[in-house]
Chains A and B, each alone.
Chain A
Amino acid sequence: MISVRNLYVTFGRGTPLETRALRGVDIEIPQGQFVTVIGSNGAGKSTLLNTITGDVPVEKGQVTIDGIDVTRWPAPKRAGLVARVFQDPMAGTCEGLSIEENMALAHSRGGRRGLGAAITSDRRSLFRDHIRQLGLGLEDRLGDRMGLLSGGQRQAVSLLMATLAGMKILLLDEHTAALDPKTADFVLNLTRRIVAEHGLTALMVTHSMRHALDYGDRTVMLHEGRVVLDVAGAERDGLDVPDLLAMFSRVRGEELADDSLLLG
């Protein structure tokens, strides 16, 4: 469960470049809900995600995860509660380390890292079982460098890594934006499967209105640091991309170039 209350974030306060990224965002995400977040560039989508992971400090407001107030927790401490997949396939994994070493790093998330061997035969077989589910043939390449994998493979492994330590909350920051459409579909379907199998509470930031409506149970639209649309259930099922676009242009009070949000 994630609860964000009256959240304010400002970058570069007092400078000419002052940006008010979040201006009083309130979102309650109950256990097991899959929320998609859309909005134009600078709407505050990534900032919202980064305040939940602790990468961006909060100016005002409160972030609660599973009933614990984590507003003042540093990022590594919050990693014990939330897992995330980055937009850049290079960012979420260590390319110089092997696949199994990356998985071992994720496996110990939230736990103590002692002086015992990071890779044991038990763990290796556990990792092999997990990675086999991806159907990418990576189970025979556990010792390969992560850098040898394609962007799509790396995102798939990142998703898997997010579930290794039994995290219940998954944050996805445009994790398919750097992939070609076919690979993006593969990773999105994998996301849907993993979220369902593990009963995860998920927050997915996306640039695609199509994806925002096709995946998940609820869609939130941000604009200039505020929530301007929050739909779920039957109301959301009846929506299509043109409806979303129409709503979007209404809140902006101006016409929107059709493809500026669809593409990207």
Chain B
Amino acid sequence: MSQIAFLGAIEIGLVYSLVALGVFLSFRVLNFPDLTVDGSFPLGAAVTATLIVNGQDPWLATLLGTVAGAIAGVVTAALNVRFRILHLLASILTMIALFSINLRVMGRPNVALISQETVLTPFLGHGLSQAMVKPIFVGVIVLVVAFLLSRFLTSEFGLAMRATGANARMARAQGISTNQHTYVGMALSNALVGLAGALFAQTNGFADVTVGVGTIVVGLAAVILGETLIRSRSILVMVLACIVGSVLYRLAIQLALSADFLGLKASDLNLVTAVLVAIALILPGVGNPLARFLKRPSGEATR
């Protein structure tokens, strides 16, 4: 793997770690399997890219891309909480609707950001190569978000949100409005995904309607990989594990694709992703085959 490919993998891993944090919020904290992300990721990208192309300030564009993601989350939450549609189905409905909305936002299937000013522009041309600046810039944003998110989840409001996902009946008995916490949690989750989309458009120089396909799988892969590798009950560590999982996942993909003897092509990405996620899901349930040799024979243990 070349240095450029390595830095590229880290950069994209960091961008998608925001998706992982969003998925962590919905799947793990709220216990709400949310597929909206496949739509809110390109929505964030589309809104931000379109605004930038139309001459808006890139920071404002990024903020509005994030807000757009939050609104998508609220729509899914409303379909589930207000209209009692099964959470999975509610999120699929939003996701499908967003495909058309993203096309409307951009007015065409993709928008290129070639010479436009982005949030990255002020940091370029100070000696560091673009390949170095991008992962550092995204990394700083991700760390700030991770710190704020873990602070939020250990606050009274965040604790109530965790109770909402863990035991809704108990939460209501403790005076927690589970509906309100579902709305806020879903908005926050998809805001993070929208932010990821906004950063994706600016680091990669384009927004495309198809860019969201499989976002949920990538996010879930990062969360599962992170919590398999780093087991902790500390919220901050759990949040950081999602980021580590996301970066490692991208490195694993990059490694698989650049290993010539495997003969994989870039178009095999989705297959590799699915196989990796399946392995990550299967592994924790399977005993370590080496454990048998490491343990003492049972006869000795009783002596």
Interface residue ranges, A against B (CB under 8 Å): 53, 55, 74-77, 79-80, 83-84, 86, 91-98, 101, 104-106, 108-110, 113-119, 145, 161
Give the chain B neighbours of A86 by CB distance below 8 A.
169-170, 173
B156 touches A104 (CB 8 A): yes
Give the distance in Å from the alpha carbon of A79 to the alpha carbon of B172 in the complex.
8
A76 touches B170 (CB 8 A): no
B160 touches A113 (CB 8 A): yes
Closest to B152 in A: A115
B172 touches A91 (CB 8 A): no
Give the chain B neighbours of A105 by CB distance below 8 A.
159-160, 163, 170-171, 174, 176
> With A76-B175, A80-B175, A109-B174 as given contacts, are A94 and B163 in contact (CB-CB < 8 Å)?
yes
Closest chain-A Cβ to B180's Cβ sits at a distance in Å of 9
Give the distance in Å from the alpha carbon of A54 to the alpha carbon of B166 in the complex.
21
**Binary per-residue interface labels of chain B (13-29) against chain A in the complex, 1 for a CB within 8 Å, 0 otherwise:** 00000000000000000
B175 touches A109 (CB 8 A): yes
- 7 tightest Cβ-Cβ pairs between the two chains A and B: A79-B175, A113-B156, A118-B159, A94-B166, A109-B175, A115-B155, A118-B156
| B87 sits at the interface (CB 8 A) | no
Closest to A171 in B: B173
Interface residue ranges, B against A (CB under 8 Å): 151-152, 154-160, 162-163, 166-167, 169-178, 233
The 28 sampled A-B contact pairs (Cβ below 8 Å) are A76-B177, A79-B172, A79-B173, A79-B174, A79-B176, A80-B175, A84-B173, A86-B169, A92-B173, A93-B167, A93-B170, A94-B163, A94-B167, A97-B166, A101-B162, A105-B159, A105-B170, A105-B174, A108-B156, A109-B174, A109-B175, A110-B175, A114-B156, A118-B154, A118-B156, A118-B158, A118-B159, A161-B174
Closest chain-A Cβ to B171's Cβ sits at a distance in Å of 8
Closest to A92 in B: B170
B173 touches A53 (CB 8 A): yes
A114 touches B157 (CB 8 A): yes
Closest chain-B Cβ to A15's Cβ sits at a distance in Å of 19
Number of A-B contacts (CB under 8 A): 91
Give the chain A neighbours of B169 by CB distance below 8 A.
86, 91
Give the chain B neighbours of A53 by CB distance below 8 A.
173
Closest chain-A Cβ to B166's Cβ sits at a distance in Å of 4
Give the distance in Å from the alpha carbon of A167 to the alpha carbon of B46 in the complex.
51
Give the chain B neighbours of A113 by CB distance below 8 A.
155-157, 159-160, 176
Closest to A119 in B: B154
Give the distance in Å from the alpha carbon of A108 to the alpha carbon of B175 in the complex.
8
A101 touches B167 (CB 8 A): no
Q: Which of B151, B158, B173 has the most CB of A within 10 A?
A: B173
Give the distance in Å from the alpha carbon of A35 to the alpha carbon of B237 in the complex.
47
Closest chain-B Cβ to A121's Cβ sits at a distance in Å of 14
Closest chain-A Cβ to B167's Cβ sits at a distance in Å of 5
Give the distance in Å from the alpha carbon of A119 to the alpha carbon of B174 in the complex.
17
Give the chain B neighbours of A145 by CB distance below 8 A.
233
Give the distance in Å from the alpha carbon of A95 to the alpha carbon of B233 in the complex.
13
Closest chain-B Cβ to A20's Cβ sits at a distance in Å of 25
Give the chain A neighbours of B173 by CB distance below 8 A.
53, 75, 79, 83-84, 86, 92
Closest to B160 in A: A113
Contacting residue for B174 out of A95, A106, A114, A116, CB 8 A: A106
A91 touches B175 (CB 8 A): no
Give the chain A neighbours of B166 by CB distance below 8 A.
94-97
Further 4 A-B residue pairs, CB within 8 A, beyond A108-B174, A145-B233: A86-B170, A94-B162, A114-B155, A115-B158
Q: Which of A74, A77, A105, A115 has the most CB of B within 10 A?
A: A105
A115 touches B156 (CB 8 A): yes
Give the distance in Å from the alpha carbon of A115 to the alpha carbon of B158 in the complex.
8
Give the distance in Å from the alpha carbon of A110 to the alpha carbon of B160 in the complex.
12
B172 touches A117 (CB 8 A): no
B175 touches A94 (CB 8 A): no
Closest to B175 in A: A79
> With A104-B159, A105-B160, A105-B163 as given contacts, are A94 and B170 in contact (CB-CB < 8 Å)?
yes
> With A76-B176, A115-B152, A145-B233 as given contacts, are A101 and B159 in contact (CB-CB < 8 Å)?
yes
A91 touches B167 (CB 8 A): yes
B163 touches A117 (CB 8 A): no
Give the chain A neighbours of B158 by CB distance below 8 A.
115, 118
Closest chain-B Cβ to A76's Cβ sits at a distance in Å of 5
Give the distance in Å from the alpha carbon of A161 to the alpha carbon of B171 in the complex.
13
Give the distance in Å from the alpha carbon of A104 to the alpha carbon of B177 in the complex.
16
Closest chain-A Cβ to B150's Cβ sits at a distance in Å of 11
Give the chain B neighbours of A117 by CB distance below 8 A.
154-156
Give the distance in Å from the alpha carbon of A126 to the alpha carbon of B152 in the complex.
23
Give the distance in Å from the alpha carbon of A97 to the alpha carbon of B170 in the complex.
12
Give the distance in Å from the alpha carbon of A110 to the alpha carbon of B162 in the complex.
18
Give the distance in Å from the alpha carbon of A109 to the alpha carbon of B176 in the complex.
8
Give the chain B neighbours of A101 by CB distance below 8 A.
159, 162
B167 touches A118 (CB 8 A): no
Give the chain A neighbours of B178 by CB distance below 8 A.
76
Give the distance in Å from the alpha carbon of A108 to the alpha carbon of B155 in the complex.
12
